[in-house]
Structure 1
Amino acid sequence: MGQSRAPLDVADLERLAARGWRGSEEAPLGDWLLRAGGGFTGRANSALVVGDPGVPLDEAVGAVADWYRDRGLRPCAQLPGRQARTADAAFAAAGWERDEDVLVLTAPLAAPAPDGAVPVELAAEPDDAWLAGYHHRGRPLPPTARDVLTNAEDVVFASVRLEPEPAPLAAVARGVVTGDWLGVAAVTVVEAHRRTGLATAVMAAVQRWGADRGARWVYLQVTSSNEPARALYRRAGFIEHHRYHYRYAAG
C-alpha cells in the first residue's frame, strides 16, 4: 500500500465510519450524532461530536448526558481531531473524564493475492464461534453485540479455524464497505496463535472482499497503547489520518 493521503477530512471520515459501526438507536443533536447500542463499544454508544450541535456547548453537554442516562448508559462523547477541541473543553469543564487516544489509520486499498497458506472463511453473519473468538478489549461479548456487528449495509465476518471444534477459532475479523471505503475491525488472534501471520491473513481476505465490492480506500481504528497492532498496521502501509478520544460523564 502506498502513502497517499486519504481523500476525506476528519468529519467526513468519522461520519462514514459511523455508518459502518452503528448502534441500534441514533438521534441527531444538530450536526452531532447520538448513538446507543446496549453499551457494546464506545463507537456505538457515544455522541459523535462533529460540526455544530445547534445549541450552546454547555447545553449540548447536558443534552448528551440526559440522552444516555435516559437509556441507562453512562454518557459518552467521541471527540475527533482538532475540530473538536472547543467541545472537548466544554465536556472537560463539566467534569467528563478523558480516555486514551484512538488512532484512525488509512491506506489505499490493495487486494493481496491469496497465498493459500491460511484458510480464511468469509460469512455474511457471525456465528457463535466467531462471536466467541472476538474479545472486545479482552472481554467476552454482551448479548447486544450481534445486533451492533450486523447493523450495516454490506458486512463480512472472516474466521480462521486451525483446530477441529470445540477448539476456538484461531482468528477473526470484520469488514464493512461504505461507499468506496472498507472499514476493518475486530481483528483478534487467540494468544496461542499470535505472531504467526494470522492477523495479516484475515486482513488480506477482508481487503480482497472489499476490493471486489468497489472499495478503493481502507480505514481502521487502534488504541494508542496497542503497540503490537500499531506495528502490524505500519508494516501494512497504514498511516495516521487523525486521532479521537472519548470523554465519559463522572459517576
Structure 2
Amino acid sequence: MGQSRSPLGVAELERVAARGWRAPEEEALGGWLLRAAGGFTGRANTALVTGDPGLPLGEAADAVGAWYRARGLRPGVQLPGVASRPVDAALAAAGWERGEDVLVLTAPLVPGAADDVPVELAPAPDDAWLAAYREASPAARAVLTNAGRVVFAAVRPEPGGEPVAVARGVVTDDWLGVAALTVAGQHRRRGLATAVMGALTRWGAGQGAHWVYLQVAASNAPARALYRGAGYVEHHRYHYRWAPEDA
C-alpha cells in the first residue's frame, strides 16, 4: 500500500467510521452524534464531538450527561483531532476522565495477495466467531451486524470449527473499515492477521472501496508495527473523556 494522503478530513472520516460501527440508538445534538449500545465499546456509547452542538458548551455537556444517564450509561465523549481541543479542555476542567489515545490509520486500498491460509468470509458472525472475538453479548451482535455491506472473516483449522483468527470488514461509501481483528494467543506470529487483512481488502475492493481505515490503541505496539509494515499511516488520533463517577 502506498502512503497517499486521505481525501477526507478528520470530521468527515469520523462520520464515515460512525456509519460503519453504528449503535442501535443514535441521536443528533447539533453536529454531535449521541450513541448508545448497552455499553459495548466506547465508539458506540459516547457522543462523537464534531462540529457545533448548537448549545453553549456547558449546556451541551449537561445534555450529554442527561442522555446517557437516562440509559444507565456513564456519559462519555469521543474527541477526534485538534478541532475538539476546546471541548476537551473544558471537560478536563470539569473533572471528566481522559482515556488513552487511539490512532486512526488509513491507506489506499490495494487488495492483498491470496496465500495458503484459507480465510472464510460470512455475512454474519456465528457463535464461534463471537467467542473468538470474546464478545458474545446481544449488544455486541447488534453493533457488529448493524451495517449494509459487512463481512466477518475467520480462519478455522477445521471446517466448522473454532476460529483462531477473526476480523470484521464494512464498506461505507468508498471506504473499507477493518475492526475486531483478533488472533488467539497460541496462533500469533504465523501470518494469520496478514491473511485476514488480505481477504478483507480483496472483499472491500470487490465492493468498490478505494481506501481503508482502522483504529488501534496507542499502547498496542505489535498491532501498530503490523499496520505500519502494511503501509498504513496515521490520519489523526482521538480519545474519550468520561464524566466523573459521582456526578
Normalised to the residue count of structure 1, the TM-score between the two structures is 0.96
Aligned equivalent of 2:40: 40
Which residue type is aligned with residue 176 of structure 1?
A: V
**1:74-113 residue CA offsets vs partner (Å, 9 max, x unmatched):** 1110000000000111211221100000000000000022
Select which of 207, 211, 222 maps to 1:213: 207
Cα distance between partner residues in 2 of 1:11 and 1:141: 31
Is the 2:24–2:36 contact (alpha carbons within 8 Å) kept by the matching residues of 1? yes
Q: CA RMSD in A?
A: 1.0
Normalised to the residue count of structure 2, the TM-score between the two structures is 0.97
2:150 aligned with 1:155? yes
Structure 2 unaligned segments of length 5 or more: list them: none
Which residue type is aligned with residue 153 of structure 1?
A: G
Cα distance between partner residues in 2 of 1:165 and 1:234: 33
Shift of 1:143: 2.5
User: Compared with structure 1, are the counterparts of its residues 121 and 164 closer, same or farther at alpha carbon in structure 2 (3 Å cutoff)?
Assistant: closer
Identity level (%)? 71
Aligned equivalent of 1:120: 119
Cα distance between partner residues in 2 of 1:48 and 1:141: 25
Aligned equivalent of 1:10: 10
Which residue type is aligned with residue 149 of structure 1?
A: L
Matched position secondary structure for 2:53: coil
Q: How does 1:38-77 map to 2 (within 5 A)?
A: 38-77=38-77
Structure 1 unaligned segments of length 5 or more: list them: none
Matched position secondary structure for 1:225: coil
Select which of 172, 175, 181 maps to 2:175: 181
Shift of 1:220: 0.1
Which residue type is aligned with residue 202 of structure 2?
A: R
Between Structure 1 and Structure 2, how many residues are aligned?
245
Q: Which runs of 4+ in 1 moved over 3 A?
A: 163-166
Cα distance between partner residues in 1 of 2:34 and 2:40: 14
**1:220-241 residue CA offsets vs partner (Å, 9 max, x unmatched):** 0000000000000000000000
